[in-house]
Amino acid sequence: MTDTTMNSNSRDSNAEVFFPDPLPGQERFVASLDQTPLKEVDSIDEEAPATSMWADAWKTLRKNPIFIISAILVVFVVLVALFPSLFTKQNPVSCNLENSLEGGGGGHPFGYDLQGCDVYARVVYGARTSVSIGIMTTILVTLLGGLVGAIAGFCGGWIDAVLSRVTDIFFAIPMLLGAIVLLQMFRTSTSIWKIVFTLTLFGWVNMARITRSAVLEAKNLEFNTASTALGSSPMRNLFRHIIPNSLAPVIVMATMSLGSYIVSEATLSFLGIGLPSSVVSWGGDISTAQNLLRTNPSVLFYPSAALAITVLAFIMMGDAVKDALDPKSRTA
């Protein structure tokens, strides 16, 4: 028997595992347990209460300065939209041509527009129209798109195929272009609800795609299998387990989309096919003041600034919420 065979038998008898010698440049060093003891930072506090994803997200958000600033701006804009009389006593539709294009002062800090209307009062009351349309559109888009996406992702098969093809058809139509065409067909009576339903009709597809992806991921996780094994029905799993665990991307999408719906309403009003001139809105005021850009730019600046700040606040909040709900973006 050769030395190689004897060495092999002795290795097998000792139940030891031997690795071939590494090639040059592939040497590895594995420290022993004595050299790497368990430190306090690696230990787990067994007495600490359990935390959920939402609790961890809130803990991250309240330390994020971007979220704090955006939340303050959003709360302020919502207060202005809900209680405009707290911020001005002027009537936004009470105009006097004698005050046309006069400067600010005497309780009118932003001056007057071409029709002699108080610019500050119109900016304040315009927040109610723009923000209410954005919020109502976001709610309807979330409900419609979330329901379609959840059913498509959960049922699968031909139901998923049909709903996905319907979603693709609406996705091929730009929201703003579709809204312009539809509103042009019904220009006889334009109201806030008509703008909301039109934006919802062409804006639910993105929410449906996001929800479908989240449901497809959640329905294959262990908690759904365990719930099914315990006798839970498919519909109970969908509404009690899968949808609640798929809300994170839906909330992020809704927060970031709200600003785009406000911009869409302002764009439609700017083009003259949105709200009528009798309704105070930022888009309508921007459209009226566009011809005064060279002579009186302040008349155009104030409603434009209010629109830009509001949209920026919602976008910043959406980015902060996305970072907080995304585990990959968190730092230890």
pLDDT tens, 40-53? 555 555 665 656 67
Please tell me the predicted confidence (pLDDT) of residue 5: 46
Asked whether residue 1 is domain-assigned, the answer is: no
Q: Assess if residue 332 is contained within a domain.
A: no
Distance, first Cα to last Cα, the chain: 58
More confident residue, 108 or 208: 208
Beta-ladder partners of 112: 118
Non-local (6+) Cβ contacts of 274 within 8 A are: 183, 190, 195, 265, 266, 267, 268, 281, 283, 284
pLDDT for 27 equals: 64
- Which helix (H) or strand (E) element contains residue 215? helix 192-218
The model carries a pTM of: 0.78
- For 159-164, the CB contacts below 8 A with 24+ separation are 160/212, 163/208, 164/212
pLDDT of res. 60: 82
Domain assignment of residue 172, yes or no: yes
H or E segment to which residue 157 belongs: helix 157-171
Whether residue 19 lies inside any domain: the answer is no
* pLDDT score of 313 more than 50: yes
Residue with tokens 């594995």: 30
**Of 317 and 5, the one with more pLDDT:** 317
Question: Could you give the number of structural domains in the chain?
Answer: 1
Q: Are 264 and 176 in contact (CB under 8 A)?
A: yes
Q: Is residue 7 part of a domain?
A: no
CATH of the domain at 92: 1.10.3720.10
Print the domain residue range for 298. Answer: 54-325
Assign 31 a pLDDT band (cuts: 50, 70, 90): low
pLDDT at 10 over 60: no
Q: What percent of the chain has pLDDT over 90?
A: 20
Residue with tokens 């936004």: 92
pLDDT at residue number 4: 46
Per-residue model confidence (pLDDT) at position 309: 93
Q: Is 316 a member of any domain?
A: yes
Residue 6 confidence (pLDDT):
44
What band does 259 get if pLDDT is binned at 50, 70 and 90? confident
149 neighbors 209 (Cβ within 8 angstroms): yes
Alpha carbon distances (Å) from 323 to 71, 74, 154, 205, 252:
15, 18, 26, 23, 9
Task: Work out the pLDDT band at 78, boundaries 50, 70, 90.
Answer: very high
Min mean pLDDT across 27-31, 156-160, 271-275 is at 27-31
Packing angle between helix 65-82 and helix 119-155, nearest 10 degrees?
120
For the chain, give the mean pLDDT: 81
Q: What is the pLDDT of residue 33?
A: 63
> Is it the case that residue 99 has pLDDT exceeding 50?
yes
Identify whether 320 is part of a domain. yes
In a domain, residue 268? The reply is: yes
Q: By mean pLDDT, which of 71-75, 79-83, 253-257, 273-277 is the weakest?
A: 273-277
Check: CB of residue 289 under 8 Å from CB of residue 281: no
Give percent above pLDDT 70 in the chain.
81
Closest CA to 100 of 303, 307, 295, 302: 295
Over range 103-119, report the average pLDDT: 81
pLDDT band at 162, cuts 50/70/90? very high
* Residues shown for the chain: 332
